[in-house]
Amino acid sequence: MPQLPSPKPMRASRITISQLMQPEHANNHGNVHGGWIMKLVDEAGALACMRHAQHRVVTIAIDQMVFRQPIHIGDLIILTAEVTYVGHTSLEAEVQVIAENPISGKQVHTNTAYLVYVALDAEENAVSVPALLAENPEEEKRMQAAEERQKHRLAQKA
- Residue 38's H or E segment, with its range, is helix 34-53
Q: Compute how many other C-beta atoms are within 10 angstroms of the C-beta atom of residue 80.
A: 17
Read off the pLDDT of residues 69-102 as tens digits, 9 standing for 90 and up. Answer: 999 999 999 999 999 999 999 999 999 999 999 9
pLDDT reported for residue 29: 86
| Mean pLDDT score, 28-42 | 93
The pTM score is 0.92
Read off the pLDDT of residues 103-143 as tens digits, 9 standing for 90 and up. Answer: 999 999 999 999 999 999 999 999 999 999 999 999 999 99
Q: What is the CATH code for 8-157?
A: 3.10.129.10
Q: What is the mean pLDDT of the chain?
A: 94
Enumerate the domain spans of the chain: 8-157
